[in-house]
Structure 1
């Protein structure tokens, strides 16, 4: 019924395998961007045209940096890179300032592609490597970019001049496909080296996990700078199905989008599910009741799943899987074994254990760290870009240590419990406390600062800045929050700020973040009013 390829059939494959197979079979695969349809054959021709351009400006193994919302620019950059052996580096469209500068400098792309709204910010981030850029491509009417004096092209002009029958030596399956940045916990954010084989294996696993059918359309606002969206698109092409990608997520428009798309599966970030469940009733929500068979997102509690089932008529709520950029899917839900609130079971891609602080396995239903290792080659990341010592550090006793806490019940189902790291996660984004502390530490009125998580009603983290002001400073919390705009990505803007006379430290001077997390939102904490979020103090 499903036609899923076996995992061993995807080892040694790439997205190009799915495209070529689909075209040979006359696949009806359609990819929608904001409800506008594009046929697989059309996108393949345009990817060839862009690949023709890339091959003239960069060499296999070079990086191409991309900053674009979900759309043709993001998708074609990825497919074109695969067609000529180039690594694509998709930057988060919310990144600004020092965080973006670090990622662009670290990945050292030879060519940049950006939508007009991001072009100038991206060029500011690329100021340190501008001399090494062969070209900049802007998806807009004007190719001119402030701060760049080199070769610039418009995206449409590049496509118009490219060869739609372009053929070159494509990437090999174990070659890097993407560098995808994830938050640093003891330093700046680092890039995971993601191979074509890894993406295809994850795509196969996510198809099986939700028992996706070829006739079903999947709708998602997940961005193509994240591995999840890349894998959903790959799964769609491999399965010969269709997918609708939104460039933005809106709670108020969610059910209108679902109804218009005809989707029966929605792939969301975990924080979106409670926001939709708490939203007022709409006519579209009433009309679309029962349309969705699956809504994925993690983590999802059994209570939240029940709300979705009863209010919206969704049969399965939650991803029922566990993974991260470094390794996915580590666990998944076997056919007909969905359990609300669980993260599934060990699958045929990974071995999974729960261990104590010394690495020893713990009994069933005991909380410990989640560790894993692949059962087949090319099933997870190939290390952190330019950081071999950090790659080695996450492997101990031949197990990859996730830094997350969980438990496995007597039936083998994994339940996520908490994160055992100093990073935070909000709106589907990993947030580096190290990077944010560097930004706030540069404020002239701040003498020391700690960025840490406090619980949110949306089953995720809220960001809190606890800081010590310079003696005599009159800096207020709203002023510091306003100062953050343009320096801190939108997804990392602090919900809470508190000024203290000092930070709690251990005998060797390390800030006790666990104590700050335990303190949470105190009587002296200032709370911002962020769009779409309720004030909780």
Structure 2
């Protein structure tokens, strides 16, 4: 986009010189101009340097979306330190694991989560300084003397906003360690360089044809790729601005878009389905939003969603390690596919022995780059996992998929989410698509649970729409007409909500750990018959 501006520090400093007083981002309560952001970034860099951080060191950040998070992000980028954004839902062992694995000497944390740290103070091997954002309800010195405690506001005010941060930062230097969402178990620290981050943003810019007149809206957290590199960095590159909230509200979503004059948003998980299931309003299509992109796109509502809300939908497939691998733009959308592989990557489908699968046959999606530096560098402190992921010189995604004759990629499921029942492979994703289309169901999650015979049985965990009731047999009758007999769930369980991480992905490992509970309905116990 701009030659020589391929580090986060460089692009922000460029914008601050170009248009210092213009607003870049609007949060729910606060806003930030380019100059304010750059000056606070300088302060944050000098603050971090005062705590002993330098190029190559790691600093954890556990904050909600807000100006403080952006200031720390920029400050660490200016200093060349590696930022370690932490999921704000983490606590206990999962939180201690990340702080130890990433060898963090400093943690910047919101006051509301301070006690999560002190409760595990004896388990933290590297942490020396804790910088608290906001007013703590307790005197931190009384809570723990294991660390040196600091007030972020006080340190930021004392730090110099004009003192230059003269550190040589190159595009291939590591900028961030993003721990994978952990929906299938222990998280791995994905090390990404500035070049890799810019590659993600540039791909999004090209796919969505963003311009200066766009205003981007995100409800995703700044500890996630989506908000960081397909919203904030995209806006920096394209010279447009951002509206960022902390949570997704289906009932308020379109009113926010109208009030803020939003032209584009990103989606993940079941966000489109949830919006579609809101009560229809005469003014649904009267909004400024022109386009949206994300994954997965529910094929059953794809055309209806666009018609109802007047929004063009593009789909992508990718991961934290790779960024975007395949794109399915609205103008050439192929229903059911993730799209065609983007020009910067090669992609194949491999069988369990590592051989390429023929067209149409499912196998593991493997990927490798055509350009240097555009994907993750390593799993931090985990060389075994890094090497294992690169078996046969292909990066193994852990996803199953297939290719058609035109080179369109189709996602089938996570390998761990494929259910093996009586010799048949069942895609949990495809079963969920059918069940979610039932008019009384809000959303669902399909998991495999151990069978008393061998392999697995299918358990459907469902959330009903408000005020709805549903007979178990009614749902199975619905399923029988729409899926193979072997995929029809044996077990049904109704819950109020599904467990999710902050990226809105369902944490299926929690459901697997619970397994067949006392409130789970078993069709075999009541003699329900599935027709072949």
TM > 0.5 fold call: yes
SS of 1:421 mapped into structure 2:
helix
1:256-291 residue CA offsets vs partner (Å, 9 max, x unmatched): 2111221110112131110010011357xx166352
SS of 2:413 mapped into structure 1:
strand
Contact 1:105/1:129 (<8 A) preserved: yes
Match of residue 280 from structure 1: 279
**Higher relative contact order by CA 8 Å / sep ≥ 6: 1 or 2?**
1
Once residues 161 and 536 of structure 1 are traced to their aligned partners in structure 2, the CA distance between those partners, rounded to angstroms, is: 58
Match of residue 195 from structure 2: 197
**Closer/same/farther in 2, CA of residues 301 and 465 from structure 1, 3 Å limit:** closer
Match of residue 148 from structure 2: 151
Contact 2:214/2:241 (<8 A) preserved: yes
SS of 2:119 mapped into structure 1:
helix
Q: Shift of the alpha carbon at 1:53?
A: 0.6
Match of residue 392 from structure 1: 387
**Closer/same/farther in 2, CA of residues 536 and 25 from structure 1, 3 Å limit:** farther
Match of residue 20 from structure 1: 13
- Is the aligned partner of 1:371 residue 2:366? yes
Q: Shift of the alpha carbon at 1:367?
A: 2.4
Q: Shift of the alpha carbon at 1:409?
A: 2.5
Match of residue 443 from structure 1: none
Q: Shift of the alpha carbon at 1:465?
A: 9.6
Contact 1:82/1:170 (<8 A) preserved: no
Contact 2:284/2:309 (<8 A) preserved: no
SS of 2:301 mapped into structure 1:
helix
Once residues 252 and 87 of structure 1 are traced to their aligned partners in structure 2, the CA distance between those partners, rounded to angstroms, is: 38
Once residues 188 and 243 of structure 2 are traced to their aligned partners in structure 1, the CA distance between those partners, rounded to angstroms, is: 30
Match of residue 300 from structure 2: 303
SS of 1:364 mapped into structure 2:
coil
Match of residue 114 from structure 2: 119
**Which of these residues, 4, 27, 31, is aligned with residue 25 of structure 2?**
31
Q: Shift of the alpha carbon at 1:463?
A: 7.4
SS of 1:88 mapped into structure 2:
strand
- Is the aligned partner of 1:419 residue 2:414? yes
**Closer/same/farther in 2, CA of residues 252 and 176 from structure 1, 3 Å limit:** same
1:52-67 map, 5 Å: 52-57=46-51, 58-67=53-62
**Closer/same/farther in 2, CA of residues 61 and 369 from structure 1, 3 Å limit:** same
Match of residue 528 from structure 2: none
**Closer/same/farther in 2, CA of residues 80 and 123 from structure 1, 3 Å limit:** farther
Match of residue 228 from structure 2: 230
1:120-178 residue CA offsets vs partner (Å, 9 max, x unmatched): 21343454226x43321111124843643232222211211111113221543222211
SS of 1:166 mapped into structure 2:
coil
TM-score under structure 1 length normalisation: 0.77
Contact 1:185/1:421 (<8 A) preserved: no
Q: Shift of the alpha carbon at 1:364?
A: 3.0
Once residues 383 and 181 of structure 1 are traced to their aligned partners in structure 2, the CA distance between those partners, rounded to angstroms, is: 12
Once residues 123 and 170 of structure 1 are traced to their aligned partners in structure 2, the CA distance between those partners, rounded to angstroms, is: 36
1:417-442 residue CA offsets vs partner (Å, 9 max, x unmatched): 21112599xxxxxxxxxxxxxxxxxx
**Closer/same/farther in 2, CA of residues 369 and 224 from structure 1, 3 Å limit:** same
SS of 2:198 mapped into structure 1:
helix
Match of residue 188 from structure 1: 186
**Closer/same/farther in 2, CA of residues 35 and 410 from structure 1, 3 Å limit:** farther
Contact 2:211/2:239 (<8 A) preserved: no
Once residues 305 and 171 of structure 2 are traced to their aligned partners in structure 1, the CA distance between those partners, rounded to angstroms, is: 39
Once residues 423 and 100 of structure 1 are traced to their aligned partners in structure 2, the CA distance between those partners, rounded to angstroms, is: 29
Match of residue 140 from structure 1: 134
Once residues 233 and 386 of structure 2 are traced to their aligned partners in structure 1, the CA distance between those partners, rounded to angstroms, is: 26
Match of residue 49 from structure 1: 43
Contact 1:185/1:422 (<8 A) preserved: no
Match of residue 355 from structure 1: 350
Contact 2:25/2:31 (<8 A) preserved: yes
Match of residue 176 from structure 2: 178
Match of residue 76 from structure 2: 81
**Which of these residues, 474, 492, 496, is aligned with residue 529 of structure 1?**
496
Match of residue 101 from structure 1: 96
**Closer/same/farther in 2, CA of residues 144 and 307 from structure 1, 3 Å limit:** farther
SS of 1:268 mapped into structure 2:
strand
Contact 2:459/2:493 (<8 A) preserved: no
1:460-499 map, 5 Å: 462=445
Where does the alignment leave 5 or more consecutive residues of structure 1 unmatched? 425-451, 467-501, 507-511
TM-score under structure 2 length normalisation: 0.78
Once residues 496 and 394 of structure 2 are traced to their aligned partners in structure 1, the CA distance between those partners, rounded to angstroms, is: 42
Contact 2:361/2:403 (<8 A) preserved: yes
Between stretches 397-406 and 100-109, larger displacement belongs to 100-109
1:284-295 map, 5 Å: 286=283, 289-295=286-292
1:238-253 map, 5 Å: 238-253=237-252
Contact 1:19/1:238 (<8 A) preserved: no
Once residues 310 and 299 of structure 2 are traced to their aligned partners in structure 1, the CA distance between those partners, rounded to angstroms, is: 15
Aligned-residue CA RMSD (Å): 3.2
Q: Shift of the alpha carbon at 1:334?
A: 6.2
1:505-524 map, 5 Å: 512=455, 522-523=490-491
1:70-97 residue CA offsets vs partner (Å, 9 max, x unmatched): 1112222211111111111111111122
Q: Shift of the alpha carbon at 1:366?
A: 3.0
SS of 2:189 mapped into structure 1:
strand
Once residues 418 and 80 of structure 2 are traced to their aligned partners in structure 1, the CA distance between those partners, rounded to angstroms, is: 33
Contact 1:403/1:420 (<8 A) preserved: yes
Where does the alignment leave 5 or more consecutive residues of structure 2 unmatched? 420-427, 438-442, 461-485, 501-518, 522-532
**Closer/same/farther in 2, CA of residues 50 and 398 from structure 1, 3 Å limit:** same
**Closer/same/farther in 2, CA of residues 516 and 359 from structure 1, 3 Å limit:** farther
Contact 2:417/2:447 (<8 A) preserved: no
